[in-house]
Structure 1
Amino acid sequence: MGLFSRLGDIINSNLNAMLDSAENPEKIARLIIQEMEDTLVEVRTAAARAMADKKEMEREIAHFTATRDDWAAKAELAIDKGREDLARGALIAKQKCETEIERRHHAMKTAEEAFDRRQEDLTKLQAKLDEAKAKHRALVMRREAAEQRIRMRSQMYDGRADEAIIRYNQLERKVDEMEAYADTIRGREPSLEQEFAELEQNESIEKELAALKARKGKAPAKKSEG
């Protein structure tokens, strides 16, 4: 069973309400359009059939009219010839033709009314189909616009993430450089062993200097206090 059970349901349907209540409006819009297009084909077929019936009735009316006129002429001829019996038979045949003509006129009127109804249905259905297609296009545009916004935001966030990673790497490199520079500075300062070695060397030099002065008869200089 389709979305619409009768042609009137389609023509009188509230597309906004149907789409607003749908879980997937775009999908429902496609289904509505498909069913409307199928119904449009059926209505056009019915209209064509009604037109064909009308034309067939017109041909049959023309045929029975010609036959009726022929029997009327024969009835007159029979009267002229004094053949009342033949005239009576011709008039009976003429009446049968008139009955068939009347039936065909009634059938043709029915076909015309059916054709007019189908044409009216086609006009309304086409308008409804155009409305459904317009709503479907609007839904597609809204979806594509939303997807585009999502892509742009995703790209923006990805760009921010890349920028943050670059800044972090730069900061990490800066820290590495600072640590390396600090290590270099520490390498220039004398170690504890070096300082003691220098003290021992200085003491040895002072002793040797004092001995040299003693040999030369000079007293060693006293260090000033304070």
Structure 2
Amino acid sequence: MGIFSRFSDIVQSNINSMLDRAEDPEKMIRMMISEMEETLIEVRSASARIIADKKTAQRRLDNMEKDAAEWERKAKLALSKNREDLARAALAEKQAILEEIELINDELKNLEEHLEKLDVEISQLQTKLDDAKAKEKTMKLRQQTTSARMKTKRQNERSNVEDAFSKFEKFEQRLDKYESELEAMDLGKGKSGNLNQQFADLENDDKLNAEIERLKKDINTNNN
């Protein structure tokens, strides 16, 4: 693809549409920026060559106009000396130079039109490049923001898990405490113990068992 064909494609392209279709928008925008910068350098170089051609053509034009004026002076001199033949020859030289001047003027006009067109398109390409760089910056900021949010979310989730384990451990400690109390109450008891005391112990056992069952339910509820 030639430089100007690629240049035209970039100027006419829709950056948003291209990024929407890309599997990796970040990679795509970097490629686009690189392509635009490379093309901009090439087009500016081409413009510099055209400007140089224009200056060269202008110097040729200036010299040709001086030569035409000189041949006209010579024609007048010849006529003042009654040398019409020399005057005709001088005017013929002047005419040939005038024809060359006309061609140079056409060349300068084409070069000027080309430069004006390039100036407009370079401005358009620079705008596209600035837009692409702005989008790249936005993408980087969004990526940083997303990464920060994900990090915060992971920290919150880890904190929630740690809280859940902490609560579960506390329930287990309380359960161990009540079970230990039950076991301690059974120590030293014989079969021939006081009957009233045995009934009192049974009632206490029921209360402790009820408390243990309540704690077990709490633990199951928190685990689910």
Larger % of helix: which?
2
Q: Which residue of 2 aligns with 1:139?
A: 139
Q: Which residue of 1 aligns with 2:105?
A: 105
Distance, in Å, in 1 between the alignment partners of 2:150 and 2:177 is 40
1:81 pairs with 2:81? yes
Distance, in Å, in 2 between the alignment partners of 1:117 and 1:84 is 49
Between stretches 123-132 and 100-109, larger displacement belongs to 123-132
Of the two, which has the highest radius of gyration? 1
Distance, in Å, in 2 between the alignment partners of 1:191 and 1:5 is 106
**Structure 1 residue matching 2:155: 3-state secondary structure:** helix
Q: Which residue of 2 aligns with 1:25?
A: 25
1:116 pairs with 2:113? no
Distance, in Å, in 2 between the alignment partners of 1:163 and 1:50 is 74
Q: Which residue of 1 aligns with 2:220?
A: none
Distance, in Å, in 1 between the alignment partners of 2:170 and 2:136 is 51
Q: Which residue of 1 aligns with 2:66?
A: 66
Q: If the length of structure 2 is used for normalisation, what is the TM-score?
A: 0.73
Gap regions ≥5 residues in structure 2: 194-224
Distance, in Å, in 2 between the alignment partners of 1:73 and 1:5 is 50
Cα shift at 1:98: 1.3
Distance, in Å, in 2 between the alignment partners of 1:52 and 1:181 is 103
Q: Deviations over 1:126-149 (max 9, x none)?
A: 222222223333333333222222
What's the Cα RMSD here?
A: 2.6
Identity level (%): 39
Cα shift at 1:78: 2.1
Map 1:120-199 → 2, pairs under 5 A:
120-187=120-187, 189-190=188-189
Distance, in Å, in 2 between the alignment partners of 1:35 and 1:18 is 14
Q: In the superposition, relative to structure 1, how do residues 70 and 5 fare at CA in structure 2: closer, same or farther (>3 Å)?
A: closer
Gap regions ≥5 residues in structure 1: 197-226
Letter in 1 for 2:96: K
**Structure 1 residue matching 2:53: 3-state secondary structure:** helix
Q: Deviations over 1:103-125 (max 9, x none)?
A: 11111001101100101111221
What is the total number of aligned residue pairs between the two structures?
192
Equivalent pair of 1:43/1:121 in contact (CA under 8 Å) = no
Distance, in Å, in 2 between the alignment partners of 1:83 and 1:172 is 132
Equivalent pair of 1:78/1:84 in contact (CA under 8 Å) = yes
Q: Which residue of 1 aligns with 2:10?
A: 10
Cα shift at 1:40: 1.6
Q: Deviations over 1:137-163 (max 9, x none)?
A: 333333322222211111110111222
Distance, in Å, in 2 between the alignment partners of 1:117 and 1:46 is 12
**Structure 1 residue matching 2:82: 3-state secondary structure:** coil
Q: Deviations over 1:150-191 (max 9, x none)?
A: 11111110111222233333334444444444444444x245
Q: Deviations over 1:70-121 (max 9, x none)?
A: 1111121122223344333322322222122111111100110110010111
Cα shift at 1:26: 1.6
1:96 pairs with 2:96? yes
